[in-house]
Chain A
Amino acid sequence: MEGGVKAVEFSETAKREIEKILSRYPTKGAALLPVLHLAQEEFGVLTEGVRARVAQVLDLPPAQVEGVVSFYTLFKTQPTGRHVIWLCQTLSCDLAGTRSLLGHLDRRYSLKPGGTTADGRFTLVMAECLGGCGTGPAMMVNWDYHDRLTPERVDEVLEKYR
């Protein structure tokens, strides 16, 4: 069943938590999102093994879990750096200059979308609208929101995250 994936086991606390989540929903499939969040908290990253385990625990087809995990950008399937930069790529920000920021991040930090800096400090993720359409381009670093960005301001902001 595991398909060569290393067996991953939830901790006892997590197992109890899953039971609690399951009791809230009429079907096991409905509990998928909260259980995935729990799994991400527990293991940090939703690796192949974690995804397979979640499918097993919830009695769902692995392909369905795969579809849900890949749909939501907040689920991490790759290990990330210490800080995650969410750069908005939606139209308003794009017009306001997201691409120049991308070029800057690449030149200055060798950071490409989906990539992590060599020192493990930042991971860059492209995000859809962060709600800063009037004040773009916008980005989030971890959960902090920054807008009206220019390459200089990006450097300034990123200085704060070590």
Chain B
Amino acid sequence: MADMITLTIDGREIVVPPGTKIIEAAGSVGIEIPRFCYHPKLTPVAVCRCCLVEVEKVPKLIPACATPVSAGMVVRTRATSEKVRKAQQGMIEFLLINHPLDCPVCDKGGECPLQDQTLAYGPGGTRFAEKKYHFKKPVPLGPHILIDRERCILCLRCVQFQREIAQHPQISVTYRGRDSFIDTAPGRTLDSNFSGNTVEICPVGALTGRHYRFRARPWEYERKPSICPECACGCNIYTHVRNGEILRVASRENPLVDDGWLCDRGRFSVRPDEPAPPRLTTPLVRINGRLMPVSWDGALEFATSAFRKIAQAPGRPEGVVGAIAGPSTTNEELYLLGRILRTSYSSNNLSFDGGASSALRSAGFAPVGAPDIDWADTILLIASDPSRDLPILDLRIKKAVRKGARLAILGNTSIELASLAASTIQAAGTDLARAIEEIARNVPAQTGQGAFLSSGKRIVVALGETASRDKTAVSEVGKLISALSKDGREVRAGVFAGGTNAAGAVEMGFHPEYLPGLRRIDDVRAKAQVEAVWSASVAAKAGLAGSSLLCSAAHGEVKALYVMGADPASRSLTPEEREGLKRLECLVVTTDRMTKTAEMAHVVFPAAAFWEKTGSLTNVAVRVQRFEAAVPPPPGVKSDVDILVSLAKAGCLPLSKESPADLAEEIARLSEPYARSFSGRTGSPAMSGREG
């Protein structure tokens, strides 16, 4: 640790590391200094002039947000300096001169730093009696963001965020003086994938989100911690609920996951301004070729007897039943469905419909996530495009590069991050494995990208979706890792791939080849461990998944299919796969809304949508994060776990554990990351936002 600096603020002696800004030093001991443009994650621009403080021997007041501390500094804030107090009052009065004070109709009213700080530090009134500026409003800046020029105080947080954090500098201050306003270049829009964050950091109501404008006042929201289900990043969020309806999503900072930012895909997945397709609220059963609404008991009875008939056919063939689960199904649902299929129907045909898995972990790969990117000094992306697939990791990589990490890209060199890369190699398809092999060879030879990588000390290698399915490429990466892990270099390799909870699906054993806890099905000892917990035997033959599952249905080998939260029929299927879906003797679908697959089904159960579920999701770094339901399901709708438990009961499955707590405890016995999510320091770790 470098030498600490001692300074005095308001007569209190404070010791902080060098480089700390006065505003942060004061904050560390609870001395509050008003601020608008200052944001802890942005470079200070010192334009709002509200954090002015008096420093001894400095003739003028100086901005606390942009001034680093120095030894022996004597700082006086508004608490002890009349000069500072007057200056701050004056600044706030100036800010309000052209501010419309339309707080009653402003989306920010109630959670507005300008409102709060005017109350706390501002003058009680104004001396400005003239007419205020009026502008046309609101003006759209981009597909999601509208600007209200009257409310804007030109703090530049949005400009700074887009420039520094998102690195999409699409907005800027135009004109000058009293005519200044925030705008895009003509003919262009603020279509950055992170534009929603500007609304959140805007200290006034100038930037508003198109989808929740005027939906509710901030004090009416019930804020519930949750997890974003849009991709495998697993960003921590708050859902803002009013009258049982989610109106918006806000960030819940977790440095280990999201750093407090959200991408627009996640943030604007909730759109109260768009009509939602109607919900399914009664079970449907196919009677005489048509889907008819029936009671829950009737539908459960129908489904279990159909499944039992198929599974208990003469000879009790293995693998006649299959299951497909979609993304954003929870760990608990995946585990339970896998367990039921394996123990009651002797089938390992478990297909997760949400992208590649992190099954590579057994091949020397470890989960890699945000903390590893922070740790690395060299990052190699192999055929991966985080900007598209895992946007929050894209921000992390940008942050790492800003802090001096070097980025190398192998694969498609036209991706957005390639512009930040110090070394790029274009390779695709079969060339990819060859290119990896060449780099591995170049490491000891100290040439090309090999030399580039080997000059790092802490190296992160991340494989994209397609690369992680290419067996040759994976084995070449294994060689590359071992070549790099020499001479004091440390390597962390993992996959940047898969949809929401893809990692959870493998971890929960929802995989044709893996049992819970990443136990290979052909590993006799591992299988025995699972069988002991389940008190049931598991078929030894690996199951089918994806395309081969549907194709084997076309050949009549798989006769019944349980589809949980997935919609395989809406994808572009080969004729054979489509034939497979049609030939099924029993297709059970659980879904929140009518889908193409549901239309082909024999039984459809109305299931809870994501926000109505309680459970856990596992992110790309195999971090298990629990969440609770934000809103209750509509009447008549059950969660997938409840449906599975009812089915298991109706099917006389010896399911001793059926309460959520028992289920969670059983999963924890089989999966180490899942168990870890329980051992929080204070209550449930995922809910506490921060974890040490």
Chain A positions within 8 Å of B, measured between CB atoms, are 3-5, 48, 51-52, 55, 61-67, 70-71
Q: How far is the CB of B616 from chain A (nearest CB, A)?
A: 41
Partner of A63, one of B172, B175, B176: B172
Cα A48 to Cα B187 in complex, Å, equals: 9
- What 1/0 mask marks residues of chain B from 168 to 192 whose CB sits below 8 Å from any chain A CB? 0111111110000001111110000
Asked whether B169 lies within 8 Å of A66 as measured between CB atoms, the reply is no
Q: List 21 A-B contacts (CB under 8 A).
A: A3-B186, A5-B187, A48-B186, A48-B187, A52-B185, A61-B163, A61-B172, A61-B185, A62-B185, A63-B171, A63-B183, A63-B188, A66-B174, A66-B184, A66-B186, A67-B172, A70-B174, A70-B175, A70-B176, A71-B174, A71-B175
Interface residues on B, range: 10 to 19
Q: How far is the CB of A88 from chain B (nearest CB, A)?
A: 15
Cα A66 to Cα B170 in complex, Å, equals: 10
Cα A4 to Cα B188 in complex, Å, equals: 10
DSSP class of A's interface residues: helix, strand, loop or mixed?
A: helix
Q: How far is the CB of A16 from chain B (nearest CB, A)?
A: 27
A residues near B169, Cβ cutoff 8 Å:
61, 63-64
- Using a CB-CB cutoff of 8 Å, which residues 120-178 of chain B contact chain A? 163, 169-176
Asked whether A67 lies within 8 Å of B170 as measured between CB atoms, the reply is no
Q: How far is the CB of A158 from chain B (nearest CB, A)?
A: 27
A residues near B183, Cβ cutoff 8 Å:
63, 66
Q: How far is the CB of A102 from chain B (nearest CB, A)?
A: 17
Q: How far is the CB of A153 from chain B (nearest CB, A)?
A: 29
B residues near A48, Cβ cutoff 8 Å:
186-187
Specify the chain A residue showing the minimal Cβ separation from B187: A3
Asked whether B172 lies within 8 Å of A64 as measured between CB atoms, the reply is yes
A residues near B186, Cβ cutoff 8 Å:
3, 48, 51, 66
A residues near B185, Cβ cutoff 8 Å:
3, 51-52, 55, 61-63, 65-66
- What 1/0 mask marks residues of chain B from 341 to 371 whose CB sits below 8 Å from any chain A CB? 0000000000000000000000000000000
A residues near B163, Cβ cutoff 8 Å:
61
Specify the chain B residue showing the minimal Cβ separation from A47: B186
Asked whether A63 lies within 8 Å of B170 as measured between CB atoms, the reply is yes
- What 1/0 mask marks residues of chain B from 509 to 545 whose CB sits below 8 Å from any chain A CB? 0000000000000000000000000000000000000
Asked whether B174 lies within 8 Å of A62 as measured between CB atoms, the reply is no
Q: How far is the CB of B184 from chain A (nearest CB, A)?
A: 6
B residues near A61, Cβ cutoff 8 Å:
163, 169-170, 172, 185
* Nearest 6 A/B pairs, CB to CB: A62-B185, A61-B169, A63-B172, A67-B172, A3-B187, A70-B174
Asked whether B187 lies within 8 Å of A66 as measured between CB atoms, the reply is no
Q: How far is the CB of A155 from chain B (nearest CB, A)?
A: 30
Cα A67 to Cα B170 in complex, Å, equals: 11
Q: How far is the CB of B160 from chain A (nearest CB, A)?
A: 13
Cα A104 to Cα B3 in complex, Å, equals: 68
Specify the chain B residue showing the minimal Cβ separation from A52: B185
Cα A3 to Cα B185 in complex, Å, equals: 10
Q: How far is the CB of A89 from chain B (nearest CB, A)?
A: 11
Asked whether B173 lies within 8 Å of A62 as measured between CB atoms, the reply is no
A residues near B175, Cβ cutoff 8 Å:
70-71
